[in-house]
Amino acid sequence: MMSDPAGQGRMIASGRGPDSSAEADATVRPGAVALHRQLAAIWDTPKGLARLSAVNHTILGKRFMLAAFVFFAIGGLLAMLIRVQIATSTSGFVGPEIYGQIFTMHGTVMMFLFAIPMFEGFAIYLLPKILGARDLAFPRLSAYGFWCYVFGGGILIIALVMGVAPDSGWFMYTPLSSSTYSPGVNADVWLLGVTFVEISAITAAVEIVVSILKVRAPGMTLDRMPIMAWYLLVTALMMLFGFPPLILGSILLELERAFDLPFFDPNRGGSPLLWQHLFWLFGHPEVYIIFLPAAGAISMIAPTFARHELVGYRAIVVAIVAMAFLSFGLWVHHMFTVGIPHLALAFFSAASGLVAIPTAVQLFAWIATIAQGRPRFSVPMLYLGGFFGIFVIGGLTGVMLAMIPFNWQAHDTHFVVAHLHYVLVGGFVFPMMAATYYWLPHFSGRLSENRISVTAFWLIFVGFNVCFFAMHLTGLLGMPRRVAFYPATAGWDWLNLVSSVGAFVMAAGFALFVIDIVVQLLFGVHFRRNPWGARTLEWAMPTPPTSYAFASLPQVGDRADRIDVATAGARLARGDGYLGFARNGWMETLAVDPASGAAEQLLVLPQRSFKPLWSGLATCAFVLCLLFKLYVLSLVALALVIVSLLWWTAGMGSRKDLGPLPVGQETMLRPHWETRRPPSWWAMAFTCAADATLFASLLFGGLFLWVTAPAWPPAINSVPGVLPAIGAGLAVLIAMLAGRLSAARLTAGFSPAIWLALCFCAQAAAALLFFMMAMAVPDRTTHAFQATMLVMLAGGGIRAAIGLLLAGYGLWRLHAGYLSAQRCADLWIARIWHDHAAITGLIALLATQAAGWALVAPGG
Amino acid sequence: MSLRALLPVAGFIIWAWAFVALYAMLSVGCRLGWEDVVIAGGLSLQRAQLIVIFIVHTGLLGMLAVFLKPRRHAGFFWRVSYCLSLAAVAATVFSFGWVFVLATCL
């Protein structure tokens, strides 16, 4: 028992796991200091090696952002090397091979290792605080994502240092990146390393979506959420649908390089355009994924410094949803010159111009907010001013590039480089720097006098414009991208020299920025809280924030940017809200109905653990085995990954029904494992949506090759066996029905054992049959059709194998006593996967059979 | 949450589906030579099928907007749904109206 020295609250038996009985709620709540000590004892992460077991969102958010900033510095250094190389036409700094690695890694590092993880870290740090929760829905998933990011990024940087970095451009176009023209390990480093990092992005996306929908303060309906939550929700949903095409493309290209499956080889029915479509289907939403969180930050910063509520909250929500959808219809504007029919180009040109409208809606909302307020022009506002100027210029050149005739002149010139830097630096880097100055007092609990902040800003702003504005002209004069040398007779020398000088001025500004931040962190003046007079929940807590964020959780009755921070902070610290006590050593927060915000579940979060680190290391081992072509060993590593992830579930849930538990405010809620739709149910649903996108990309990729690739139809003599196909189809259907019945029977109070066993056997049969059919595809390296069939059937087998694991897990949980009519979530979650595996499996079977019979040679 | 939760994004889901259908069928039609198949009034089979797809989706969007219009004052959810449906109609017309005039397979 923990002691209760102040005698102000009845303490609960402490234990590490939810199997301990909840004896009672605290009928007399502890005071603020005692409550803080109790919560800190549960939520704090000890120092030393134990920090590697951290799952706390504040720690992980800061780690993500710090790591992202380190990668930004590396990317920036690479940029300086680029500018040194092309400052003049007579530069002999590096040769073309090394230069290829430098510009490829500059783009790759900035896009994959800086921008996305920076926003992820920002979201992980900030979301629970602005939503009135103690942590995100899946703390260990955040930790696992962090390790995947750091290890994946490490592989790329080590390759750079060793001189084998990817060198085919950050977008890795085939056939340059295929094994014929890039025989070394360089391209494999990109394909495997970036895919490894993308695991982190997908896990973060699932975490963010589920946390925003489910883990909010009670009473926070969707229209009361802080606007940043809307931005992050839309961004994370875009990631779920935008990243799978890239993951698929990377898998297919790696299969082509490793096993000669000709997806992108036009001599064998493949097409280089398939890579471009898959890449840019990811690549264009990617830049909006980068922009939207920054826009969210602006939407929080501008009202605070304008001292006026955000104008046009509803209009902004409409605009960002429209922008999210439109951004998925623009990708071909990166491919206007490849020979696609004009009508199709017109679709993408129109959408590319159209997306400026929702962007403008947001800009005007911010301008209106500032215009209607009494603005204070502090350092964050300086960076917002920089954003306005630079981003608008970038947006205008974007509309220019959306016009096809102009695009045909400017494509692949430095005009495009200028445009992309104006929108990315203007639209992401400047708002992030504003956000850094705005929230740094929150991270650190200190303020600075900003003596060098203004100088740093002007150096960055002026240096940026000198560097990149000149590039518009360089591009219009015809200078192509990605060239290590250019002739003196081209007349580009003086413009490139100006750009390079500007780049060095900008670099000096960034160096001053770093010094400024370090000085604030080390020597800034301590203060109480909320120096800016903001009205959002993250300021209603001590700064630096505690590990548990809120000592008690608020009931929200109005929009979450109308908080009286001082009053709310004091009240919550006293424990006057929900969960104003410590119980069983549990890390508790609340889950709500997504739309109404009504409190629904008591969410008991997992304690800190080294398991995410072990899983990250196992995954890294798997990736390295693939990179070095140790395929048999990679299967061992894969087994370790699976075992390590299953190990996460040990001890989760309870062996007995606890029933509703008091959560404060005279409310009783069931723990999440006694509900049918805990947050993990939603996570499974969204993961299936991401996988469905990957499957659909493969299906449409196959259709694309059939319709547009040369060397079709293939000369094939056999069709995948009909009997195995029927068998596999029946097996996945039986597995789906058995999975549904197991969940229903358990909920009705009956044993699901027989249905789980049936599901297990059916998935085993399905997996076996799918893999047999995949291995039986003849001549798989001779034509893209066979290669696509193989991948489609193998994918069905993999999904059935995952279903097998889930059915087996259900049987184990039943045997171990973790399942009951109340504690049935495990089977409802698995049901989603069984349905998904069945639907995609049946479509894969129908598609392969239909395509096979349509193409088989007469008499074959 | 029920399927009603998808109402705000229903309009743009229809827009996205129109995009997929038009781009896919444009490619299929060019591959199968439908541009050279003339049906009524000098209209090619290629253009006819694209126009039908366009009209069907625009019609669906129109119906959605009509359904949402009388409900638009019923709260945040309905207002946002209605505005997004109008935006989707405008996006569909502007993005895909070219099927009436532009050369299809060049």
ipTM for the predicted complex: 0.96
CB contact under 8 A, B77 and A346: no
- Percent over 70 (pLDDT), chain A: 96
Widest pairwise Cα distance in chain A: 90
Return the residue of A nearest to B105 by Cα: A341
Measure the CA–CA gap between A250 and A563, rounded to whole angstroms: 46
pLDDT score for B1: 55
Confidence of residue A858 (pLDDT cuts 50, 70, 90): low
Confidence of residue A8 (pLDDT cuts 50, 70, 90): very low
CB contact under 8 A, B95 and A707: no
The residue with greater pLDDT, B18 or A712, is B18
| Chain B residues in contact with A350 (beta carbon < 8 A) | 94-96, 98
What integer is the mean pLDDT of A148-169?
Answer: 96
Measure the CA–CA gap between A637 and A655, rounded to whole angstroms: 32
Q: Is the pLDDT of residue A282 over 60?
A: yes
pLDDT score for A720: 79
CB contact under 8 A, B80 and A343: no
Closest CB from B26, B80, B88 relative to A314: B80
Interchain CB contact of A504 with B (< 8 Å):
no
Interchain CB contact of A368 with B (< 8 Å):
no
CB contact under 8 A, B15 and A346: no
pLDDT score for A6: 33
| Chain B residues in contact with A700 (beta carbon < 8 A) | 20, 24
C-alpha to C-alpha distances, A109 to A65, A79, A629, nearest whole angstrom? 14, 11, 24
pLDDT score for A411: 96
pLDDT score for A24: 39
Return the residue of A nearest to B89 by Cα: A322
Provide the strand spans (E) within A333-460. 446-447
Return the residue of A nearest to B103 by Cα: A343
Q: Is the pLDDT of residue A105 over 80?
A: yes
C-alpha to C-alpha distances, A365 to A300, A302, A311, A827, B81, nearest whole angstrom? 12, 10, 6, 46, 20
With b for 16 or more beta-carbon neighbours within 10 A and e for fewer, the A548-586 pattern comes to: bbbbbbbbbeebbbebebeebbebbbbbbbbbbbbbbbb
* Mean per-residue pLDDT of chain A: 93
Confidence of residue A35 (pLDDT cuts 50, 70, 90): very high
| Chain A residues in contact with B84 (beta carbon < 8 A) | 318, 321-322
Per the structure block, which two tokens stand in for A18?
């939810």
Q: Is the pLDDT of residue A29 over 70?
A: no
pLDDT score for A28: 53
What integer is the mean pLDDT of A165-192?
Answer: 95
CB contact under 8 A, B19 and A347: yes
Closest CB from B20, B94, B106 relative to A341: B106
Residue with tokens 């059979």: A849
The dihedral through the CA atoms of A82, A87, A93, A98 has a sign that is: positive
**Of A583, A606, A584, the residue nearest A664 (C-alpha):** A583
| Chain A residues in contact with B30 (beta carbon < 8 A) | 341, 707
Q: What is the pLDDT of residues A605-642, one digit of tens each?
A: 999 999 999 999 999 999 999 999 999 999 999 999 99
Confidence of residue A854 (pLDDT cuts 50, 70, 90): confident
Give the gap in angstroms from C-alpha B4 to the nearest C-alpha of chain A. Answer: 11
Per the structure block, which two tokens stand in for A627?
């990179």
CB contact under 8 A, A354 and B95: yes
What integer is the mean pLDDT of A457-474?
Answer: 97
pLDDT score for A529: 81
What integer is the mean pLDDT of A98-106?
Answer: 96
Helix (H, G, I), strand (E, B) or coil at A526: strand
| Interface probe with A: pick from B2, B12, B82, B105, most Cβ of A within 10 Å | B12
What integer is the mean pLDDT of A141-151?
Answer: 96
C-alpha to C-alpha distances, A589 to A42, A76, A204, A288, A818, nearest whole angstrom? 13, 40, 19, 32, 22
Pairing verdict, β A667-671 and A599-605: parallel
**Of A1, A11, A59, the residue nearest A35 (C-alpha):** A11
| Chain B residues in contact with A317 (beta carbon < 8 A) | 80
Q: Which of 40-99 (B) contact A at CB < 8 A?
A: 50, 75-77, 79-80, 83-84, 87-88, 91, 94-96, 98-99
Return the residue of B nearest to A322 by Cα: B84
CB contact under 8 A, B77 and A222: yes
Q: What is the pLDDT of residues A790-807, one digit of tens each?
A: 999 999 999 999 999 999
pLDDT score for B40: 83
Q: What is the pLDDT of residues A709-743, one digit of tens each?
A: 998 888 776 777 899 999 999 999 999 999 999 99
CB contact under 8 A, B28 and A346: no
Return the residue of B nearest to A677 by Cα: B1
Q: Is the pLDDT of residue A2 over 50?
A: no
CB contact under 8 A, B28 and A322: no
Q: Is the pLDDT of residue A136 over 60?
A: yes
| Interface probe with B: pick from A209, A271, A284, A325, most Cβ of B within 10 Å | A325
Per the structure block, which two tokens stand in for A550?
């809120």
CB contact under 8 A, A342 and B103: yes
What integer is the mean pLDDT of A473-479?
Answer: 97
What integer is the mean pLDDT of A79-106?
Answer: 94
Q: What is the pLDDT of residues A696-713, one digit of tens each?
A: 999 999 999 999 999 888
CB contact under 8 A, A354 and B12: no
Return the residue of B nearest to A350 by Cα: B95
Measure the CA–CA gap between A383 and A374, rounded to whole angstroms: 18
Q: Is the pLDDT of residue A534 over 50?
A: yes
Contact A318, B84 (CB under 8 A): yes
CB contact under 8 A, A347 and B79: no
Helix (H) or strand (E) holding A544: none
| Chain A residues in contact with B16 (beta carbon < 8 A) | 325, 328-329
User: What is the amino acid identity at position A450?
Assistant: N
pLDDT score for A22: 39
| Chain A residues in contact with B33 (beta carbon < 8 A) | none
pLDDT score for A240: 97
What integer is the mean pLDDT of A18-32?
Answer: 51
In degrees, rounded to 5, the angle at the alpha carbon of residue A482 between the alpha carbons of residues A480 and A485 is 80
Closest CB from A318, A326, A351 relative to B83: A318
Q: Is the pLDDT of residue A860 over 60?
A: no
Minimum mean pLDDT among A13-27, A183-197, A330-344, A570-584: which range? A13-27
- Percent over 90 (pLDDT), chain A: 90
